[in-house]
């Protein structure tokens, strides 16, 4: 048959994932000549073939593509015939606008794991073993295209053996950018707690394991930052970490050797196992077996859930394999600051750790561990970071102009939107400190630079005090600002992820977000589409005594609701809430409530949770966000039936009758369980008249019990699976607002 020259252009995640050698191998199989190359738009192939063979090649590309790749588009055309001597992989060429995706960091693959523990392999025990199908990506990239010179591996010169693998198209390490070995790659360095004096043991891994065994806290440099690690079976070590980090109760994540060790500690269903062992290797929140069988309570005080994850780098594997017991592995960061990515950052935590396990490959882009849970057979992402970000999200329509979306203020993420795609940054964190705001700006600059992105529109939250809003106003220049209501953005994020067009009925249950009336919303029911929203119902406003302080003190919210119910008589009441204050405090707060002094109004379901937790004496003061809800999850009993009364008139939900019902209850478990049921009843009643898809979002839906109950009642309800229901999903919603 007659040969023609075909040009094929492929876009998607096709760089740094072994795509060119895959095409090379295909060309060998079909004995074709031509070339394959990367450019900043994707992969380009020139191929001489007859039409029949060419079609077979196209099918093979689609069905046999390498495991880490994902093809978004394949386009091909016939060119005037040109002859080639053989098939060649040619070097990267530059080409205008960047549309190629930054590959995320992925966990070590099976083949590399096997070599790591094979004494006859030349990389036996090498803590940075990697290949085309696994290893660091995003965290070491300065710029696109993804080539070694654009990563922090550029400082390591390949040895001859590595060079040979790197240049052989049929080798598993062909163009594996982070390739290295004992001779030429990154190396470990063990340091004391000042972080400057190297200790030189004969074997770093043996030494680290010994130190962990003896109850030391070690800062270990990983992929996107450092972890603070200690033996998870050592009560004293964990308590020491809690005391030094001033983190009394917030649960710690635990890294386990393998899925078998995970199964000893947690109840794991099929989907949870899939997530634990996936290439993303997130922290998975699981029901622990009994009350922490095998682990001291200090790992997660008062809570029967446990966050487990598997080693995702060869370094972690080597440590876990030798230690053979679970390890507490929590992100090393100063409270309210981003994760530490270099020794200088880490010095701020001096006194917390006893030793540092350092290595000399720079972390260019910080990235936390991702956190997921499974509710009613659905994956819910609570923190979208390592492994998942910055993967692009496809939109159901094309954006007319480029949008930079700045997210909210807590669990911040940012997004850039162009054409029909959105790149959502990994979890950045709360913007509550100068350090975190700097880190936030760095993330914006990084995404813009890598994608050579210029925005026409800056989308931001309505809250005037958010750092993201201030940033928008500071940097706007000639761009257009677009203000997006917080809860509208929540619902839009889900719509964008699920590619929903048209109107939906959105339920946004949240901590707090700025409303278009200047009040703090958070118990919102809205009929909305990309263009706008109608707030059809919400919780009746109540006052947050002390403003921001009320967010950390459930007792303040409960007291305010008691004032709403009983006015001045509250001062004479005896219940857990009033008893959490001194008589003088009660009087002061009554006046503040009466006069509305430093008492912003809120319709937040998150705060209602707090109020309930205080009234039932479950939690009066919180040491971390979401604590009250977590403790209420613990108390829920599915055998309890019934709910409390509530009022509903003119789109306003009166929650006071709920409190009256609860105060008359003398069993906390029954009260908590009926409270959960009441929230489901509220949704059912308000949603009933609408024939629209039901969309759920907002941080309160991270509550496993509530989400489970709502999904049981409304199996068709839509919740996001690729972006978090909390404020981490806001940036995506902001991008699509106004379309
Ligand atoms: Zn590998
Ligand atoms: Zn080497």
The pLDDT of 328-355, averaged and rounded, is 93
Q: Give pLDDT tens digits for 65-76.
A: 988 888 989 999
Q: What was the pLDDT predicted at 537?
A: 98
CA of 151 to the centre of ligand 2 (A): 17
**260 burial level (CB within 10 Å; 0-12, 13-18, 19+):** exposed
Residue 271 has pLDDT above 80, yes or no: yes
The more confidently predicted of residues 153 and 295 is: 153
Torsion angle (degrees, nearest 10) of CA 180, 281, 725, 451: 20
Q: Which ligand is nearest to the CA of 157?
A: 2
Residue 96 has pLDDT above 60, yes or no: no
Closest-CA residue to 514 (of 525, 504, 522, 526): 522
CA of 508 to the centre of ligand 2 (A): 53
Looking at 45-49, 167-171, 594-598, which range is the least confident one? Answer: 167-171
The strand pairing partners of 718, in sequence order, are: 695
Q: What was the pLDDT predicted at 295?
A: 87
CA–CA gap between residue 467 and residue 428 (Å, rounded): 13
CB atoms inside a 10 Å sphere around CB 505: 22
Q: Which ligand is nearest to the CA of 279?
A: 1
Task: Work out the pLDDT band at 99, boundaries 50, 70, 90.
Answer: low
Task: Work out the pLDDT band at 38, boundaries 50, 70, 90.
Answer: confident
CA–CA gap between residue 117 and residue 119 (Å, rounded): 6
Q: What was the pLDDT predicted at 319?
A: 98
Strands 520-528 and 457-461: unpaired
Task: Work out the pLDDT band at 193, boundaries 50, 70, 90.
Answer: confident
Q: Give pLDDT tens digits for 381-403.
A: 999 999 999 888 999 999 999 99
CA–CA gap between residue 734 and residue 94 (Å, rounded): 32
Residue 210 has pLDDT above 70, yes or no: yes
Residue 195 has pLDDT above 80, yes or no: no
Torsion angle (degrees, nearest 10) of CA 504, 508, 514, 515: 50
Q: Which ligand is nearest to the CA of 179?
A: 2
Token pair in block for residue 315: 């370094």
Task: Work out the pLDDT band at 292, boundaries 50, 70, 90.
Answer: low
CA of 330 to the centre of ligand 1 (A): 25
Sign of the alpha-carbon dihedral angle for 497, 502, 507, 508:
positive
The pLDDT of 122-142, averaged and rounded, is 95
- What is residue 74's three-state secondary structure? strand
Closest-CA residue to 227 (of 208, 243, 214, 213): 208
The pLDDT of 183-195, averaged and rounded, is 90
Q: What was the pLDDT predicted at 623?
A: 87
Q: What was the pLDDT predicted at 100?
A: 66
Residue 94 has pLDDT above 70, yes or no: no
CA of 472 to the centre of ligand 1 (A): 41
CA–CA gap between residue 694 and residue 687 (Å, rounded): 8
Q: What was the pLDDT predicted at 16?
A: 73
Sign of the alpha-carbon dihedral angle for 461, 465, 467, 473:
positive
Q: Which ligand is nearest to the CA of 66?
A: 1
* Tokens 């400082």 sit on residue: 155
Q: Which ligand is nearest to the CA of 153?
A: 2
Q: What was the pLDDT predicted at 488?
A: 98
Strands 421-424 and 392-394: antiparallel
Residue 302 has pLDDT above 90, yes or no: no
Burial 89-121 (b: 16+ CB within 10 A, else e): beebeebeebbbbbbbbbbbbeebbebbeeeee
CA of 179 to the centre of ligand 1 (A): 10
The pLDDT of 423-439, averaged and rounded, is 93
Q: Per residue, what are the HEC states of 663-694?
A: HCCCCHHHHHHHHHHHHHHHHHHHHCCCCCCE
Q: What was the pLDDT predicted at 98?
A: 54
The pLDDT of 70-92, averaged and rounded, is 90
Q: What was the pLDDT predicted at 147?
A: 86
Q: Per residue, what are the HEC states of 298-339?
A: HHCCCCCEEEEECCCCHHHHHHHHHHCCCEEEEECCCCCCCC
The strand pairing partners of 47, in sequence order, are: 6, 34
CA of 411 to the centre of ligand 1 (A): 32
Q: Which ligand is nearest to the CA of 173?
A: 1
- What is residue 438's three-state secondary structure? helix
CA of 367 to the centre of ligand 1 (A): 20
CA of 172 to the centre of ligand 1 (A): 8
CA of 166 to the centre of ligand 2 (A): 10
The more confidently predicted of residues 16 and 267 is: 267
CA of 344 to the centre of ligand 2 (A): 29
Phi, psi of 380 (to 5 degrees): -115, 120
Q: Which ligand is nearest to the CA of 134?
A: 1
Q: Per residue, what are the HEC states of 540-604?
A: CCEECCCCCHHHHCHHHHHHHHHHHHHHHHHHHCCCHHHHCCCHHHHHHHHHHHHHCCCCCEECC
CA of 539 to the centre of ligand 1 (A): 52
Give the angle 275-278-280 at the CA atoms, nearest 5°.
100
- What is residue 470's three-state secondary structure? helix
CA of 179 to the centre of ligand 2 (A): 7
CA of 161 to the centre of ligand 2 (A): 6
Task: Work out the pLDDT band at 728, boundaries 50, 70, 90.
Answer: very high
CA of 522 to the centre of ligand 1 (A): 45
CA of 375 to the centre of ligand 1 (A): 31
Q: What was the pLDDT predicted at 146?
A: 83
Q: Which ligand is nearest to the CA of 184?
A: 2
What's the whole-number average pLDDT of the chain? 94
Task: Work out the pLDDT band at 18, boundaries 50, 70, 90.
Answer: confident
CA–CA gap between residue 592 and residue 602 (Å, rounded): 15
Q: Which residues have a beta carbon within 5 Å of ligand 2, which is an ion?
A: 159, 162, 181, 183-184
Residue 735 has pLDDT above 60, yes or no: yes
Task: Work out the pLDDT band at 730, boundaries 50, 70, 90.
Answer: very high
Q: Which ligand is nearest to the CA of 161?
A: 2
The pLDDT of 615-637, averaged and rounded, is 93
Burial 677-704 (b: 16+ CB within 10 A, else e): bbbbbbbeebbeeeeebbbbbbbbbbbb
CA of 163 to the centre of ligand 2 (A): 7
Strands 283-288 and 371-375: parallel
Q: Give the whole-number percent of the chain exceeding pLDDT 70.
A: 98
Residue 222 has pLDDT above 90, yes or no: yes
User: How many DSSP H helices and E strands does the chain contain?
Assistant: 23, 32
Token pair in block for residue 348: 């701020």
The pLDDT of 624-651, averaged and rounded, is 94
Closest-CA residue to 286 (of 316, 257, 311, 254): 254
Q: What was the pLDDT predicted at 293?
A: 61
CB atoms inside a 10 Å sphere around CB 519: 16
Torsion angle (degrees, nearest 10) of CA 694, 695, 699, 700: 10
- In contact, 633 and 624? CB cutoff 8 Å: no
Q: What was the pLDDT predicted at 291?
A: 60
Closest-CA residue to 462 (of 477, 446, 473): 473
Strands 4-13 and 652-654: unpaired
CA of 164 to the centre of ligand 2 (A): 9
Residue 62 has pLDDT above 80, yes or no: yes
Task: Work out the pLDDT band at 77, boundaries 50, 70, 90.
Answer: very high
Q: Which residues neighbour 59 within 8 Å (Cβ) at sequence distance 6 or greater?
A: none
The CA distances from residue 487 to 307, 382, 407, 437, 494, in Å, are 28, 17, 12, 23, 11
Task: Work out the pLDDT band at 372, boundaries 50, 70, 90.
Answer: very high
The pLDDT of 439-454, averaged and rounded, is 93
CA–CA gap between residue 660 and residue 642 (Å, rounded): 15
CA–CA gap between residue 657 and residue 660 (Å, rounded): 5
Closest-CA residue to 488 (of 586, 405, 551): 405
Residue 264 has pLDDT above 80, yes or no: yes
CA of 178 to the centre of ligand 2 (A): 11
CA–CA gap between residue 581 and residue 578 (Å, rounded): 6
Q: Which of 50-54, 544-548, 683-687 has the highest mean pLDDT?
A: 683-687
CA of 132 to the centre of ligand 2 (A): 15
Q: Which of 118-122, 348-352, 629-633 has the highest mean pLDDT?
A: 118-122
Q: What was the pLDDT predicted at 702?
A: 97
């Amino acid at each position: 048959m007659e040969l023609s020259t075909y040009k094929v252009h492929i876009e998607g995640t096709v760089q740094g994932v072994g795509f060119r050698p895959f095409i090379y191998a295909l060309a060998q199989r079909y004995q074709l000549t031509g070339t394959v190359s990367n450019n900043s738009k994707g992969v380009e192939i020139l191929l001489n073939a007859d039409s029949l063979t060419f079609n077979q090649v196209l099918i093979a590309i689609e069905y046999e593509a390498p495991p880490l790749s994902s093809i978004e588009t394949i386009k091909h055309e016939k060119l005037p015939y040109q002859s080639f001597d053989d098939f060649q992989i040619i070097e990267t060429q530059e080409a205008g606008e960047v549309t190629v995706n930054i590959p995320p960091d992925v966990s070590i693959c099976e083949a590399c794991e096997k070599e790591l523990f094979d004494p006859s392999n030349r990389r036996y025990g090498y803590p940075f073993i990697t290949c085309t199908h696994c290893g660091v990506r995003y965290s070491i990239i300065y710029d696109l295209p993804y080539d070694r010179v654009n990563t922090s591996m550029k400082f390591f010169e390949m040895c001859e053996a590595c060079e040979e693998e790197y240049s052989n198209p049929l080798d598993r390490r062909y163009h594996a950018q982070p390739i290295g070995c004992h001779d030429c790659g990154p190396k470990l360095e063990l340091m004391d707690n000042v972080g400057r004096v190297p200790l030189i043991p004969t074997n770093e891994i043996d030494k680290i394991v010994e130190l962990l065994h003896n109850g030391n806290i070690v800062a270990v440099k990983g992929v996107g930052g450092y972890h603070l690690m200690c033996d998870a079976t050592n009560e004293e070590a964990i308590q020491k970490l809690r005391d030094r980090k001033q983190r009394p109760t917030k649960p710690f994540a635990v890294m386990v050797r393998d899925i078998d060790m995970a199964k000893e500690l947690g109840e794991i269903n099929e989907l949870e196992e899939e997530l634990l062992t996936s290439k993303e290797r997130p922290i998975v929140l699981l029901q622990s077996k009994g009350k922490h069988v095998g682990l001291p309570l200090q790992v997660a005080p008062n809570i029967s859930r446990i966050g487990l994850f598997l080693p995702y780098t060869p370094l972690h594997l080597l440590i876990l394999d030798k230690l053979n017991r679970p390890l507490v592995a929590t992100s090393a960061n100063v409270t309210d600051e981003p994760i530490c990515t270099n020794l200088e950052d880490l010095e701020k935590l001096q006194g917390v750790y006893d030793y540092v396990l350092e290595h000399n490959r720079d972390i260019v882009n910080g990235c936390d561990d991702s956190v997921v849970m499974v509710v009613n057979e659905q994956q819910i992402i609570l923190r979208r970071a390592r492994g998942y970000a910055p993967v692009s999200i496809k939109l159901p329509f094309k954006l007319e102009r480029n949008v930079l979306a700045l997210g909210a203020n807590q669990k911040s993420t940012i997004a850039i939107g162009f054409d029909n795609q959105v790149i959502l940054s990994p979890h950045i964190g709360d913007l509550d400190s100068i350090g975190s705001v700097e880190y936030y700006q760095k993330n914006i600059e990084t995404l813009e630079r890598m994608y050579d992105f210029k925005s026409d529109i800056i989308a931001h939250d309505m809250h005037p005090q958010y750092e993201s809003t201030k940033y928008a106003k500071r940097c706007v220049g000639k761009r257009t600002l677009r203000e997006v209501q917080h809860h509208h953005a929540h619902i839009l994020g889900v719509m964008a992820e699920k590619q929903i067009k048209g109107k939906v009925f959105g339920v946004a249950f949240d901590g707090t977000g700025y409303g278009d009336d200047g009040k703090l919303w958070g118990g919102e029911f809205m009929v909305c589409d990309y263009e706008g929203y109608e707030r059809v119902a919400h919780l009746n406003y109540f006052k947050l005594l002390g403003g921001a302080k009320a967010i950390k003190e459930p007792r303040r919210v409960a007291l305010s609701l008691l004032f709403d119910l009983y006015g001045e008589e509250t001062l004479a009441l005896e219940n857990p809430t009033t008893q959490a204050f001194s008589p003088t405090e009660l009087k002061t707060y009554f006046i503040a409530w009466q006069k509305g002094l430093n008492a912003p109004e809120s319709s937040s379901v998150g705060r209602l949770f707090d109020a309930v937790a205080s009234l039932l004496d479950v939690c009066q003061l919180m040491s971390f966000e979401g604590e009250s809800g977590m403790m209420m999850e613990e108390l829920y009993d599915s055998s309890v039936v019934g709910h409390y009364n509530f009022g509903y008139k003119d789109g306003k939900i009166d929650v006071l009758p709920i409190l009256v019902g609860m105060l008359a209850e003398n069993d906390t478990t029954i009260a908590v369980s009926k409270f959960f049921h009441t929230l489901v009843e509220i949704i059912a009643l308000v949603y009933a008249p609408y024939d629209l898809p039901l969309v759920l979002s907002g941080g309160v839906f991270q509550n496993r019990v509530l989400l489970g109950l709502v999904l049981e009642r409304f199996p068709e309800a839509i919740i996001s699976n690729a972006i978090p229901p909390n404020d981490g999903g806001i940036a995506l919603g902001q991008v699509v607002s106004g379309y």
